[in-house]
Chains A and B, each alone.
Chain A
Amino acid sequence: MRENGRMSLIELQGIERVFQLGDTEVHALAALNLRIAAGEYVAVMGPSGSGKSTLLNLLGLLDRPNAGSYRLEGRDVTTLSPDEQARVRSERIGFVFQSFHLVPRLTAAENIALPMTLAGIPLKERSARVAKALTNFGLDNRADHRPDQLSGGQRQRVAIARATIMQPALILADEPTGNLDRHTGEEVVNLLEALNASGVTLVVVTHDPTMGARAQRQLVMEDGRLKFDSAHPSPATDAPG
C-alpha cells in the first residue's frame, strides 16, 4: 500500500477494458497495472486511440473495467453500486474537461456551486465557499456572468473552481489547455500546478509534450498498454507485452 513513504491513492491491477466494435473486439486498456501516490502530478500521454481517455474515465468512475481491480484510497471501487460511485465522484474526484463543460444557462457562481448543489449542501455554506473560490480564482467580478459572456481562460478557471469546490483528493484533467491559446493555457496549467502543490493529486491527459514535461511523472500509453512510466523507467515493471 505504501510507495516512496506515501499511501497509494490509486491502485490499478490487471485492468482490462474491451469495446465491441461490430465483430471486432477492441482492447482499449489491456493488462494495466498502475499505482499513483497521493499528491503526485502525473501526465498521461500517447497518440489518439491509445487508451488515455478510457483510462481517465475509468479513474473517474465514469466507466467500469471488464476485468481487474481499482482501489481508490485503499477501497475497491469497481464493485460499488452506481449510486455509491456517484458519491465517490462527488466527494473525492474533480473533473476538468477540454471543452470546459459549463452549464450554459447557469452563471459562473452557479456553475461553481453545482457539485455542492448536487451533493445537497445547504445554500449558506455553498455561497460562502463559492465566494471564496471566486476570489481564489480571480473571478470576483465575473460571478454573475454566464459562460458565453466569459473568455476561454475564464471559463476554464470556472471549471477548475468547480472541480475543486468539493475539496477532492484527485483532479482528473482531460486536455485542459486543448481549447486555449498558449498564454491562457499557461495560466491554467499554473493554476492546476498550484492546486497540486497544495496536496491534491493531479492526473492530466495531454498531447502537448511541453505540458507533459512539466509533470513529476510521465506515463505514455500505446494500444491500451502502458508503454513508458517515468517512475519505473525499466520496462520490466510493466506487464509483458
Chain B
Amino acid sequence: MRLADTLRFARDAATGYPLRTALSVLAMSIGVAAVVILTALGDGARRYVVGQFSSIGTNLVIVLPGRSGTGGFNPANAITTTPRDLTIDDAAALRRASAVSRLAPLAVGTSEISFGGKLREVMVAGSTAEFIPIRNFELAQGSGLPEEDWNRGSPVAVIGAKIREELFGSEPAVGKLIRVGDRRLRVVGVLSSRGQGLGMNTDELVIVPVSLAQALFNSNTLFRILVEARSREAIPEAKEQVMEILKQRHRGEEDVTVITQDAVLATFDKLLGALTLGVAGIAAISLAVAGILVMNVMLVAVTQRTGEIGLLKALGATARTIRLAFLAEAAMLSTVGAIVGYLLGQLGAFGLRQAFPVFPAYPPDWAVIAGLSTALVTGLLFGVMPARQAARLDPVQALMKH
C-alpha cells in the first residue's frame, strides 16, 4: 500500500470510532499539556528567582556574620543572625582591598515612621551612599544618602515609593521632616517603585545612614556588608581579600561567612533546575500512562476490527501492510494528542502569565521537545504490539468472527 493510502486508511479508521479516538487523544494531550505547564511553572520559578537575585546587584560579594560549617552557601545563614559581630569599622577596613570597587555596610531593623499624624511600621535599612548604586536601586526624586563619614549619620532618609504615597499623598516629599523612631529626619530622596523584590520590598523601605540606624536600634552590629568586586573575574580575589582582612581584624578567627552572588545564583539555578526536571519527570509518567492507553485503545481496535483484518488479508494485504496501517493509526492518535496537548499547555502557560505577570511561565524548549517526542515515541512503541497482533491474525479465523 502507498504511504498516502496507508495514512488515509489509518485516518479513516481513527475517525470511524470517534469516542475511542477522542479519549486516547485526550489522554495523550493531557500528558503533553501537563509536561508543558509543569515545566513552564518550574522554569518560571527558576527564572524568577535568578532574575531577582541578579537584580540585587552585579559582581556582589556578601559578608555575613558567623561561620557556616565547612564553607559554601548555607541557605539558613541568609535568614538567621548569629552572635558574632560585624562592625562599621570592619566594613571600613574592607575598603583597603584592591579587588573591591565599592561597598556598603547594612544594618536592618523595623521602626515606626510618622508624618502629619500618619503612623506606620516600616523596615529601616541603615547604610551608606553607595548602597543605592550597589543594589541597583533608582531614585525617583531627590538624591541618595550623602557621602560622609560612616560614623557620623546625618539625620536624613530616603523613602520607598509606597511610603511616600501613604504619608504624603500628592504633596512633595523631598525636604519634609519625618519622624522615624525617636529621630526627626529630613527626606532627601524617594526610590522609584520596583514592586516586590527578593528579601526586601523597596517600596516600603526607609534608608538612613548606617550609624543612625545603629543608634536607632541601639546596637553596633551589621546585618550584612555588601561588597562589589571590580569585575566578574575579580570576585574570587575579592572574596579572599575580604576574608583575609576580617580574619586579621577578628584575631585570626574566621568568624564570618562570605558568599558570592554567583554561588547563590548557581545554587538556586541548580536547585530549581532540578525541581523543573522533577516535575517534568512526574508529568512524563502521565505521558507513559497515555501511551499505555493508546496501546489499550489499539488492542481494542484490533479486536473490534478482527473481521476487517481478515478481509484485508483475503484481499491481498500483506502482514506488513496491516502492521503499518495500525502503527500509522497509533502514531496519528499520539501525534494529534501531542499537538493538542502542546497547544493546551501553551494556552495554560499563557493563562499563568496573564494571572501572574511577574512570573515568567514559559516552558523551556527542551521540555517541549522532550514532551512531544516522548508522546510520539510512546505512541509508536505501544502501537507496535497491537499492530503485530493484527498482522499475525489468521485470516480464516478473522473472517469467521465477522
Which residues of A line the B interface, CB within 8 A? 57, 60, 62-63, 82-83, 86-87, 89-91, 95, 97, 99, 101, 103-106, 114-115, 117-120, 122-123, 162, 166
Decide if A101 touches B316 in the complex (CB within 8 Å).
no
Nearest-neighbor residue (CB-CB) of A122 within chain B: B2
B164 proximal to A (CB < 8 A): no
Decide: A62 near B318, CB < 8 A? Known: A99-B402, A120-B1.
no
Decide if B12 touches A105 in the complex (CB within 8 Å).
yes
Decide if A62 touches B320 in the complex (CB within 8 Å).
no
Chain B positions within 8 Å of A104 at CB level: 16
Nearest-neighbor residue (CB-CB) of B316 within chain A: A90
* Residues from 306 to 320 in B contacting A, C-beta threshold 8 Å: 307-308, 311-320
Nearest-neighbor residue (CB-CB) of B2 within chain A: A120
Give the residue among A99, A106, A118, A120 with the most B Cβ atoms within 10 A.
A118
Chain B positions within 8 Å of A101 at CB level: 307, 311, 314, 399, 402
Decide if B13 touches A82 in the complex (CB within 8 Å).
no
Decide if B320 touches A83 in the complex (CB within 8 Å).
yes
Q: How far is the CB of B32 from chain A (nearest CB, A)?
A: 28
Decide if A62 touches B314 in the complex (CB within 8 Å).
yes
B48 proximal to A (CB < 8 A): no
Decide if B12 touches A97 in the complex (CB within 8 Å).
no
Smallest CB-CB A-B distances: 8 pairs = A90-B316, A105-B16, A86-B318, A89-B316, A62-B395, A115-B315, A118-B317, A101-B311
Q: How large is the interface on B (under 10, 10 to 19, 20 to 34, 35 or more residues)?
A: 20 to 34
Decide if A63 touches B396 in the complex (CB within 8 Å).
yes
Decide if A95 touches B314 in the complex (CB within 8 Å).
yes
Decide if A117 touches B9 in the complex (CB within 8 Å).
yes
Chain A positions within 8 Å of B317 at CB level: 86, 90, 118
Nearest-neighbor residue (CB-CB) of A56 within chain B: B396
Decide if A118 touches B396 in the complex (CB within 8 Å).
no
Chain A positions within 8 Å of B12 at CB level: 105-106
Render B1-27 as a binary contact track against A, CB cut-off 8 A, 1 for contact: 110110001001101100000000000
**A57, A82, A106: which contacts B318 (Cβ < 8 A)?**
A82
B261 proximal to A (CB < 8 A): no
Total residue contacts A-B, CB cutoff 8 A: 69
Q: How far is the CB of A12 from chain B (nearest CB, A)?
A: 17
B321 proximal to A (CB < 8 A): yes
Q: Considering the chains assembled together, what is the distance between the CA atoms of A87 and B321 in angstroms?
A: 12
Decide if A118 touches B315 in the complex (CB within 8 Å).
yes
Nearest-neighbor residue (CB-CB) of B325 within chain A: A118
**A83, A90, A91: which contacts B319 (Cβ < 8 A)?**
A83
Decide if A115 touches B319 in the complex (CB within 8 Å).
no
* Residues from 290 to 332 in B contacting A, C-beta threshold 8 Å: 307-308, 311-321
Apart from A86-B313, A101-B399, what are 9 other A-B pairs with CB-CB below 8 Å?
Answer: A60-B314, A62-B313, A62-B399, A90-B315, A90-B316, A101-B311, A103-B308, A117-B1, A120-B1
Q: How far is the CB of B388 from chain A (nearest CB, A)?
A: 14
Nearest-neighbor residue (CB-CB) of B15 within chain A: A105
Nearest-neighbor residue (CB-CB) of A103 within chain B: B308
Chain A positions within 8 Å of B396 at CB level: 57, 62-63
Nearest-neighbor residue (CB-CB) of B16 within chain A: A105
Q: Considering the chains assembled together, what is the distance between the CA atoms of A60 and B314 in angstroms?
A: 8
**A103, A119, A122: which contacts B316 (Cβ < 8 A)?**
A119
Q: How far is the CB of A21 from chain B (nearest CB, A)?
A: 14
Nearest-neighbor residue (CB-CB) of A58 within chain B: B396
Q: Considering the chains assembled together, what is the distance between the CA atoms of A17 and B232 in angstroms?
A: 86
Chain A positions within 8 Å of B402 at CB level: 99, 101
Q: Considering the chains assembled together, what is the distance between the CA atoms of A162 and B307 in angstroms?
A: 17
Q: Considering the chains assembled together, what is the distance between the CA atoms of A228 and B319 in angstroms?
A: 37
Q: How far is the CB of A60 from chain B (nearest CB, A)?
A: 7
Q: Can you name 24 A-B residue pairings with CB atoms under 8 Å?
A: A62-B314, A62-B396, A62-B399, A83-B320, A86-B316, A87-B316, A89-B315, A90-B316, A95-B314, A95-B315, A101-B307, A101-B314, A101-B402, A103-B308, A104-B16, A105-B15, A117-B1, A118-B1, A118-B316, A118-B317, A120-B1, A120-B2, A123-B4, A166-B316
